[in-house]
Amino acid sequence: MSPQRTWLKGWGVSGTIAWAWIALIVVAAVAARHLPIDPIRQHLSDALAAPSWSHWFGTNSRGIDIFSLVVDGARTSMIVGIGAILIGLTGGATIGLIAGYFRGWLDRSMLIALDAAAAFPAFAAAVAAVLFWGKSVRNVTLVLGILTIPLFARVMRANTLQYVERDFVRASRMIGAKHRRVLLRELLPNVAVPVLSYSLVGVGLIIAAEGGLSFFGAGVPDSVTTWGQVIASGRSQAERAPHVVLLPALVIFLTILALNKISELVIVRWVSGGVPMPKQKRRSAPDEPSVVLDRPTPSPTARPITDDPEVAVQVEDLHVWLHSPFGVVRAVNGVDLELRRGQMLALVGESGSGKTMLARSLLGLVPTPPLVPDLPGRVLFDGMDLLSWGSKSLQNVRGRKIAMVFQDPMTQLDPVMRVGAQIAEPAMVHLGLSRTLAMRRAVDLLAEVGVPDPERRVRAYAHELSGGLRQRVAIAIALAAEPQVLIADEPTSALDVTVQAQLLDLLQTLRDDRGLSVLFITHDLGVVASRADEVAVMYAGRIVERGTTADVFADPRHPYTRALLGAMPRIDNRSHQRLNTIVGTPPVLLFEQAGCAFAPRCTVAVELCTQRRPMLQAETLLHYVRGANAHDSACWLAHNEVSAVESPVSASD
Amino acid sequence: MGEALRWLLRRCVSLIGVLLLVTLGTSALLELLPGNKAVAILGTSATPEAIKIVEKNLNLDRPFIVRYGIWTERAAQGDLGIGRDGELVSASLKQRIPTSLELMVSAQLLAIALAVGGAIYATKRAGRRADRTLSTAAFGMVALPQFVLGLLFVIYLAGKWKLFPLLTHPTFFSDPIGHLRSIALPVMTLAVPLAGIYYRILRTDLGATMQADFITRARASGLSERRILFNHALRPSSLSLLSVVGLNTAAVLGGAVIVENLFAVPGLGRLLLESVAKRDLVKVQGAVLAIALIYVVVNLFVDVLLQLLDPRVRAATSGSVS
């Protein structure tokens, strides 16, 4: 990354205006003495004159040009603002960094001190302090700076705490780096940006606070001009001549606004690593050129909607494309799938193969801003195309007809709601059960999914349960409204192997007992071996092989499937035998590839593979003759289009 | 329940620590003020004997820490001393506290209401024009210094358009509507910047929560967006807002001096400044104690509320060993 270049670019219109305004103020502050302004001369005949060509901001009660005062005031206002923030930043950041890093009693006592500081009427104290120690720029800056220390200490501590537990900091502590080194080299650079961004807000706060002090006659001495002082001294004439107050107030307002805006953008850009976020599409905007560039052509094989009672969900030519900061990601590219009633279909693929996007798009759960709309594809359920439905109508399908379980057992449950209430909710919404009935149902469901002691567990919170139990709860939530189809998106990947097996047994039981159709998504072919009825292998947004589990395992056709099987540890492998791994990484789905997407990693690829993409289709007649089993795959070699001479036979086993 | 009680007890102890620290700090600051205190009270023409007597009476001849000890002991018994005007400090506090509390609580509630309403409205329309407009408005509300905002209200709402009275303060019981009208401007002046801050905190947290897995899961369960927002997103998103509201208590009470000055409201902030100006140190200490006490009570309340809202905090505070 070249941070310098991206850093300067793309602040947006408001950011640029904010920078320009601050630049203007800084120029005024630095060069006020050399500008053709006159903050001293009294135009006595012109007192309280309204804004005009000769006095842009009008004049005050002594006939002094207010614009000149404001330009002149920028200097001291900025000196006080920046000076106080430097004091607060140095003091507060040191305290916060040390407390957050060493923690323990140091942190605890600092928290009490911070609490005390927050309980202390700071502004009144500032007024008192300036009045007693004397009105001077130095005193005002010092007092406001000291009172800012707790604010910075708090921000710094919070930011430090975020990093102290991160691996790189722990690692460098572990290898025995000196505290000073860890603090300065590892922590400081990471917490610097948010804290500096907060300083910009702080400068605004101080400028406002200085104005407040002037209000009580506790600001800078009368010989010096600040913005706050200009406004405060105009207070008594404000009703007769509002311009005395309004225009300087506007300057303060715009300055603080600009500082806050820049501060926010600094954080946004820092968090996004300097990559500008994609512009959000306005609603119902006409097609943007970036989207129309090369839409996929609908597959010519689209059949009329059939109502096969054996099929629960039929996916036809599904495309899911997403806007990303780097361009359009083609996550799913024309997938055909058939989930048969009461069966388990396993969708297998590496991370990044598009399987999760496929699962989410079945229920319209991919949010609209990144999703490229109006691509070909249908999701047929009960004779209807779910893709053509709006979010509102889909609500009657989600949970009620087709339910879903997600990967992460920790984050998919509401952290602040008892699990019983979460299970009861879909039953109440979809089945119209009363709260009491729904809660009773929740207990039954917990029992059904194998949660021990369900009467007690309905009252538990997610964080009180183990990962396996949480996943069972998630399944119970999914079952709450009696759906016919369950989509399970890697429900076992985050769990250990024994728990995995138990959960798979549970899904199998549910399939058998309830006649549930299960779409099981996983990256682990081994997991599905004994349990799924059918398998579909996905690679780069396409199905590359599809068939009954028995057929696919017995005779994998696609080299990718074979590689996946080869990468599976087996109990009957000889010890110390190397596992075959697939060399390379899955392709980035930003570009349309000409040939087979797997070709670059394929050990048996021939020239044709990189030129034309093989379709997913059954084997040629030859296979039947040879008596092999028949299932679909997308490989030129399996299709026998390539002669045996051309194919390097050695790679297949 | 035993653990919850223990937690409450620990929290109370640390809050008493806060009280002690604040009053000790104030005493120390007052000690630092230049000049002889007895002279400041009696004037420069006072005889040495008179000064001696005053010093004796106020324990000024004893070391600072002893004086603080004596003050603490008396304060714990409800005796906050007598001000220079001969008034019991507790009596003048009793007069000012209700006014200040009313201002603070109304302003906080108004700010919270605006922030919550706005943030929910904007989250429902995330990324659309209404969302952007509200976020700009919140920016503007934060960027307006309180004394400027108050002054604008005085000039326009009270002065030019005569929508609100400035100098009359009828009590709630004698004239409810008149009373509400009389506190409307100071409350609004306090609430507008707060609402801007609160809105931004809540909108950010709501936005982050709406991206969370459990929200997608709630959507996958077929719950309506409205239900998701109110039943699932709002509660976990309101935690940082609540802590900030608690932290702002003292700032709103003490920072109300500007508002109290502009709108001639007899509150704690003004008492504080008047007492400072008159060198009435006993009263200053009393007013600081009152503000800190309110802060401590509000924050205890906030802490309990946080515990109720977030079971994870409950687990972390009651289950932790260290």
Touching check for B21 and chain A: CB below 8 Å? yes
Question: A 14-33 residues with CB below 8 A of B?
Answer: none
Contact with chain A for residue B288, Cβ under 8 A: yes
Tokens read off for B72: 């603490």
Distance of alpha carbon A461 from alpha carbon A468, whole angstroms: 14
Look at residue B191 and tell me whether its pLDDT is greater than 90. yes
A304 vs A339: CA distance, rounded Å: 18
> Regarding predicted confidence, which is higher, B320 or B170?
B170
- Residues 132-161 (B) with a CB less than 8 A from some CB of A: 139-140, 142-148, 151-152, 154-156, 159-160
Q: State the pLDDT at residue A621.
A: 52
Residue type, A198: Y
Strand partners, A338: A314
DSSP assignment of A190-231 equals HHHHHHHHHHHHHHHHHHHHHHHHHHTT-SS-TTS--HHHHH
Give the pLDDT band of residue A294 (cuts 50, 70, 90).
low
In this structure, what are the phi and psi dihedrals at residue A339, rounded to the nearest 5 degrees? -95, 115
Give CA–CA dist A343/A153, Å, rounded: 59
- Each residue's pLDDT tens digit, A488-518: 988 887 788 888 888 888 998 999 998 899 9
Q: What is the pLDDT of residue A649?
A: 38
Does pLDDT of A4 surpass 50?
Answer: no
The two structure tokens encoding residue B220: 């996958």
Neighbours of A157 (CB within 10 A): 25
Higher pLDDT, B78 or A459: A459
Higher pLDDT, A301 or A314: A314
Which of A123, A216, A413 is closest, CB to CB, to B255? A123
Q: Is the pLDDT of residue A2 over 50?
A: no
A8-28: average pLDDT:
83
Give the Cα separation of A405 and B220 in Å (integer): 9
CB within 8 Å: A112 and B22: no
Question: Is residue A548 less than 8 Å (CB to CB) from chain B?
Answer: no
Q: Is the dihedral of CA B245, B250, B253, B258 positive or negative?
A: negative
At residue A423, φ and ψ (nearest 5 deg) are -75, -40
A 10 A CB-CB count for A27 gives 13
**A136-194 residue pLDDT tens:** 999 999 999 999 999 899 888 888 887 877 777 777 777 777 777 777 777 788 888 88
- Taking the CA of residue A302 and the nearest CA in chain B, the distance in Å comes to 28
- Look at residue A628 in the predicted model and tell me its pLDDT: 53
Of A120, A396, A408, the CB nearest to B22: A120
* Residue listed under structure tokens 């952007």: B132
Assess whether pLDDT exceeds 50 at residue A7. no
pTM score: 0.83
In the numeric block, the tokens 């839409």 are attached to: A295
Q: Are B135 and B143 in contact (CB under 8 A)?
A: no
Q: Which residues of chain A from 93 to 112 reach within 8 Å of chain B, CB to CB? A: 112
Say if the Cβ atoms of A118 and B247 lie within 8 Å.
yes
Specify whether the CB–CB gap between A222 and A213 falls below 8 A.
no
Q: Using a CB-CB distance cutoff of 8 angstroms, which residues of chain B are in contact with residue A400?
A: 222
What's chain A's Rg over C-alpha atoms? 34
pLDDT at A291 over 60: no
Per-residue pLDDT at A644? 41
pLDDT-based confidence at residue B180 (cuts at 50, 70, 90): confident
Q: How far apart are CA A318 and CA A616, in angstroms?
A: 14
pLDDT of residue A306: 60
With tokens 């017995």, the residue in question is A554
Contacting residues of B for A246, CB less than 8 Å apart: 152
Would you state the structure tokens that stand for residue A608, as one six-digit string?
């044709």
Q: If you average pLDDT over residues A338-354, what whole number do you get?
A: 88
Q: Quick check: B161 pLDDT over 50?
A: yes
A232 vs A225: CA distance, rounded Å = 11
User: What does the angle CA A491 – CA A494 – CA A499 come to, to the nearest 5 degrees?
Assistant: 75
Average pLDDT over residues A53-61: 77
Mean pLDDT value of segment A299-322: 75
pLDDT in tens, B141-159: 988 888 889 888 888 888 7
Residue of B nearest to A359 (CA): B220
The pLDDT of residue B322 is above 60:
no
> Does B269 reach chain A within 8 Å, measured CB to CB?
yes
**Which residues in chain A have Cβ-Cβ distances shorter than 8 Å to B199?**
none
Query: What DSSP letter does each residue of A266-277 carry, written as one string?
Result: HHHHHHTTTPPP
Q: What pLDDT is attached to residue B61?
A: 74
How would DSSP label each residue in A248-259? Answer: HHHHHHHHHHHH
Nearest C-alpha in A relative to B238: A416
Could you report the per-residue pLDDT of B219-273, keeping only the tens digit for each?
Answer: 999 999 889 999 899 988 998 899 899 888 877 887 788 888 888 888 888 888 8
User: What is the C-alpha separation between A88 and A144, in angstroms, rounded?
Assistant: 8
| Phi (first) and psi of residue A320, to 5 degrees | -130, 110
Query: Residue A650: pLDDT above 50?
Result: no
The pLDDT value recorded for residue A256 is 92
Q: Do A369 and B255 touch (CB under 8 A)?
A: no
Query: Which pLDDT score, from 0 to 100, does residue B269 have?
Result: 85
Residues of A in contact with B221 (CB under 8 A): 398-399, 403, 425-426, 429, 477-478, 480-481
CA A50/CA B75 separation, integer angstroms: 55
- In angstroms, the Cα distances linking B257 to B103, B268, B270 are 11, 8, 6
Q: How far apart are CA B123 and CA B200, in angstroms?
A: 12
Asked whether the predicted pLDDT for residue A278 surpasses 60, the reply is: no
Lowest-confidence region among A7-16, A351-360, A635-644, B38-47:
A635-644
Report chain A residues whose CB lies below 8 A from the CB of B302. none
Q: How many CA atoms lie within 13 A of A553 on its CB side?
A: 17
Which domains does chain B show, CATH number per domain?
A: 96-310 (1.10.3720.10)
What digits encode the pLDDT tens for the residues A395-439? 889 999 999 999 888 889 998 899 999 999 999 999 999 999 999
| Segment A271-294 mean pLDDT | 48
Average pLDDT of every residue of chain A: 81
Q: Which residues of A touch B299 (CB under 8 A)?
A: 115
Q: Cβ B222–A416 below 8 Å, yes or no?
A: no
Q: What is the pLDDT of residue A470?
A: 92
B42: Cβ contacts below 8 Å, ≥ 6 apart: B50, B51, B54
pLDDT of residue A9: 58
Mutate one of A120, A229, A393 to test the B interface: name it (highest B CB count within 10 A). Answer: A120
Could you give the CA distance from residue A426 to residue A409 in angstroms, rounded to a whole number? 19
The model's pLDDT over A570-582, given as tens digits with 9 standing for 90+, comes to 666 565 666 667 7
- pLDDT at position A375 is 83
Mean pLDDT score, A234-254: 85
A48 to A39, A63, B159, B161: CA distances (angstroms): 15, 6, 18, 21
pLDDT surpasses 70 at A6: no
The secondary structure of chain A in percent helix, strand, coil, rounded to multiples of 5, reads 50, 10, 40
Out of B25, B224, B235, whose CB is closest to A395?
B224
pLDDT at A519 over 90: yes
Cβ pairs A/B, distance under 8 A: 226
Would you call A116 an interface residue with chain B, using a CB distance cutoff of 8 Å? yes
CB atoms within 10 A of CB B305: 16
Cβ-based contacts of A394 with chain B (< 8 Å):
222
Residue type at position A159:
N
